[in-house]
Amino acid sequence: YFLLCVNYFFYGETVTDYFFTLVQREEPLRILSKYHRFISFALYLTGFCMFVLSLVKKHYRLQFYMFGWTHVTLLIVVTQSHLIIHNLFEGMIWFIVPISCVICNDIMAYMFGFFFGRTPLIKLSPKKTWEGFIGGFFATVLFGLLLSYVMSGYRCFTCPVEFNNDTNSFTVDCEPSELFQLQEYNIPLVLQSVVGWKTVRMYPFQIHSIALSTFASLIGPFGGFFASGFKRAFKIKDFANTIPGHGGIMDRFDCQYLMATFVNVYIASFIRGPNPSKLIQQFLTLRPDQQLHIFNTLKAHLVDKGMLGSLEDA
């Protein structure tokens, strides 16, 4: 029940964001969208009251134990999956590059540790070494730069997913933003004598990929350390035996634990700006007097900036 409530809360807002026109077209959907948060909270309160009423003497501890684990699991699983869906809507590149960097770091840290590892890194994972940690970092940054360069040239990876009102379907076709257009950058004087170049042509996204791969290399492994500590706390070797010799699915994705959240926060903080199409859609849903007020305010602002006069002269 709580799983359904949390999914309704998260994905209800996503549907409203990306299917705004479709939602406004149908009366039941419009009501669900308008009072979405209240309905979600009412559903949670219903579940909370049901839990309290279901408490049985001599089983209080077990029931509260399960209640707590339910919330922790939902926080980890549903929140992460919801953020991954949001990242996908920004473009496939924001999903593929981060997870690929985590996978690369996991492999290269093992390789460097296997061949050069001497110094233990952390007691939670005795086999992890400083040599593997540092070697994996440099290898992942280089891998992120190369993968970003290749993927930035394809629109199917760089274009965000948009809903086409005419065809009632999603489209992935756009004019690439400045992030995915080759630009020339000056190389610092210190490095010019080493590489022999004064400038280099690269995609701005490659610079962002350095931040993504750095996080995947330095902070991502702590998701694995967290999982190792969790297993030690409950005295288990693997989360499951789905993959013989390698544990369950969670054992393969423990380093991905924080990546989806970081990418989503990074996009919201440094990449995503106001969406004109969504603003227009919201503007059209207002009352006529509200629309007129916004129009007059915007007109006065453009006149003050000198932009409206130049447009009228043209």
Residue where the block lists tokens 């129009």: 295
CA angle 139, 143, 147 (to 5 degrees): 175
| Predicted confidence pLDDT, tens digits, the chain (314 residues) | 999 999 999 988 887 777 776 777 777 888 888 889 999 999 999 999 999 999 999 999 999 999 999 999 898 888 888 898 889 888 999 999 999 999 999 999 999 999 999 999 888 888 889 999 999 999 999 999 999 999 999 999 999 877 776 777 777 888 888 999 999 999 888 888 888 888 999 999 999 999 999 999 999 999 888 888 888 888 888 887 887 777 777 777 777 878 989 999 999 999 987 767 677 777 877 889 999 999 999 988 888 888 876 544 54
Q: Residue 157 has which token pair?
A: 């990876």
d(Cα 192, Cα 137) in Å, to the nearest integer?
23
The residue type at 40: S
d(Cα 180, Cα 167) in Å, to the nearest integer?
27
pTM for this prediction: 0.84
What's the confidence (pLDDT) of residue 310?
53
What's the confidence (pLDDT) of residue 314?
44
* Domain range annotation of the chain: 1-89, 91-273, 276-308
Q: Crossing angle of helices 60-89/259-266, nearest 10°?
A: 50
E strand residue ranges, 130-247: 162-164, 169-171, 183-186, 199-202
Give the distance from CA 308 to its chain's centroid: 39
Q: Which residues contact 224 (CB under 8 A, 6 or more apart)?
A: 106, 125, 254, 255
What's the confidence (pLDDT) of residue 313?
52
d(Cα 239, Cα 228) in Å, to the nearest integer?
10
